[in-house]
Amino acid sequence: MLNKGQIINAKVTSIVNYGVFSEVHSEDGELIAKGLIHISELSDFFVRDINSFFAIGDVIEVQVLEYDGAKKQVKLSYKALHPELLKSSENKIQETGNGFSKLEDSIDDSMNND
């Protein structure tokens, strides 16, 4: 039985352009569920190549997002356990009051030849 928010180990079984398929096994090796880590759960930043994160056979620590016991399927998150892969307020572009300033404010005084 897997629970939302639980931290588990999953073995990478396949890498596709939209995510990573994995398997979750019990301590005695029994298959508990097959899982997907969607590309959006790898990082908040642009992911050019999923293969730069994992290789088939890797055992990785992930967090359970959803678990369907009847289907033995689990949705997993990698970025939830890796704060460096999350965008923070420091990474975001700061809002300004007005994107355009008055032209006269932008002109250097040396250009004003009165």
CATH of the domain at 48: 2.40.50.140
Query: Residue 49 corresponds to which tokens in the numbers above?
Result: 């190549």
Q: Is the pLDDT of residue 75 over 80?
A: yes
Query: Residue 24 corresponds to which tokens in the numbers above?
Result: 């979750």
Query: Residue 11 corresponds to which tokens in the numbers above?
Result: 């073995």
Residue 72 has, within 13 A of its CA and on its CB side, a CA count of 10
- Are 23 and 34 spatial neighbours (Cβ–Cβ below 8 Å)? yes
- Are 66 and 5 spatial neighbours (Cβ–Cβ below 8 Å)? no
pTM for this model (two decimals): 0.73
CA distance 85 to 83: 5
Residue 43 lies in a domain: yes
Strands 31-38 vs 73-77: parallel, antiparallel or unpaired: parallel
Domain range for 76 is: 7-87
Q: Confidence band (pLDDT; 50, 70, 90) for 26?
A: very high
- Are 10 and 41 spatial neighbours (Cβ–Cβ below 8 Å)? no
Q: Mean pLDDT, to the nearest integer, of 63-92?
A: 88
Partnered with residue 24 across adjacent β-strands are: 33
Q: Mean pLDDT, to the nearest integer, of 62-82?
A: 96
Count how many domains the chain has. Answer: 1
Q: Is the pLDDT of residue 48 over 70?
A: yes
Residue 70 lies in a domain: yes
Q: Confidence band (pLDDT; 50, 70, 90) for 95?
A: low
